Amino acid sequence: MTTATLNRDAKSTFFSDKRGTGLMRALVFHGPNNIAVERVPIPRAGYGEVVMQVTLTTICGTDVHILKGEYPVRSGLVIGHEAVGVIHEIGPGVTGYQVGERVLVGAITPCGQCNACLGGEWSQCGGPIGGWKFGNTINGAQAEYLLVPSAQANLARIPDELTDEQVVLLADIASTGFSASESADVQLGDSVAVFAQGPIGLCATAGAHLKGAALVIGVESDLARMAMAKRMGADVVLSPKEGDVVAEIKKLTGGRGVDVAIEALGTQATFENALKVLRPGGTLSSLGVYSGKLSVPLEPFAAGLGDIKIVTTLCPGGKERMRRLIELVQHGRVDLRPLLTHTFLLDNITEAYELFTSRRDGVLKVAIRP
Ligand SMILES: [Zn+2]
Ligand SMILES: [Zn+2]
């Protein structure tokens, strides 16, 4: 099933494997600080699987952790976990999709059938963090083609009027960022502080706004990110370089503290500050990935008597999650395109990694075109 109908998007190179070599270009991880674009076999769709031709992908902070050797994956793995593309091959057992359809697949690809999935813990499919497969346990998205497992549960159609750029960030950072306010059950009129305005924090800011928070306070010291936080829905942005953000947040909430504090960096300092700005009974919603040891300071935790809730969330995935996020974009509730600050070809992706890691030139997210 490799013949395809004509793709509407004239800019897309629908068949890059025109010569029928059976090979594609992909970014392969060979060990810490050792990645390269190489030719590897184009995957074939087995039972329940779909091969999509990737038309747009991006680089995540998690990929940088992999590159630095801070998160171990096997040598030889194609990395990346965010992909928009066109269905190229449909394996047996997948129904209701057609070759040539434009689809979005989440970074997290739950099987939809295991106990964790059926218990509603999609991201923990099959075991701890088990929903994260692309560029972790199976080949990922920084490639011309991507093999999608459990495709029936994971492919969301993209409406014709939406571009790849409008939806690519839904796969991971938007789903993750928005989930912070969903997991904290933000109520209409709540006050929410979001610590760190990197790509995920910016999406968390947008998510707090979407969930009906009355006051969204961003915390960030980088000037470009401070400005972007306003654009994504922050009412106030405080810089830790310019004063005591904990005191300032208390002041902004009339001394009460915020209903929800979102941690979007993964450090002891931001975790502690998030605890310190909470009202009694408030919720700390943690998105950061921590390393080493994380400790809970007793005073802001009221020695365990403050009715504080601490919740964590791994990026929600699956086609229904992606469909809902696409609806938000389609109906103009959120526009993530400003976060895509740079574009690179897949052939130059190592330069894109260098830029993304350096945080030069106001970079937030890089769009990668295979
Ligand atoms: Zn990611
Ligand atoms: Zn599962």
Distance 14 CA to ligand 1 centre (A): 26
Q: How far apart are CA 212 and CA 203, in angstroms?
A: 14
The string of DSSP letters for 196-222 reads --SHHHHHHHHHHHHTT-SEEEEE---
- Ion ligand 1 residues within 5 Å by Cβ: 60, 62, 172
Q: Helix (H, G, I), strand (E, B), or coil: what is residue 79? A: coil
| Cα of 113 from ligand 2 centre, angstroms | 5
* pLDDT value of position 181: 98
pLDDT at 14: 44
Ligand 1 centroid – CA 339 distance (Å): 15
Residues in the chain predicted with pLDDT less than 50, given as ranges, are: 1-15
Task: Starting from the CA of residue 58, give the closest ligand.
Answer: 1
Question: Which residue in 34, 38, 36, 105 sits closest to 66, CA to CA?
Answer: 34
Ligand 1 center–CA 62 separation, angstroms:
5
pLDDT score, position 204: 98
Written as one string, the DSSP assignment of 118-164 is: HTT-GGGTTSTTTTB-BTTTB--SSBSEEEETTHHHHEEEPPTTS-H
Q: How far is the CA of 331 from the centre of ligand 1 (A)?
A: 25
Q: What is the 320 CA–ligand 2 centroid distance (Å)? A: 14
322 CA distance to ligand 2 middle (Å):
17
Q: Which residues surround ligand 2, an ion (CB under 5 A)?
A: 110-111, 114, 117, 125
Give 291's contacts (C-beta < 8 A, 6+ positions apart).
Answer: 70, 266
Distances in whole angstroms, Cα of residue 95 to Cα of each of 49, 147, 154, 165: 11, 16, 12, 27
**Model pTM greater than 0.75?**
yes
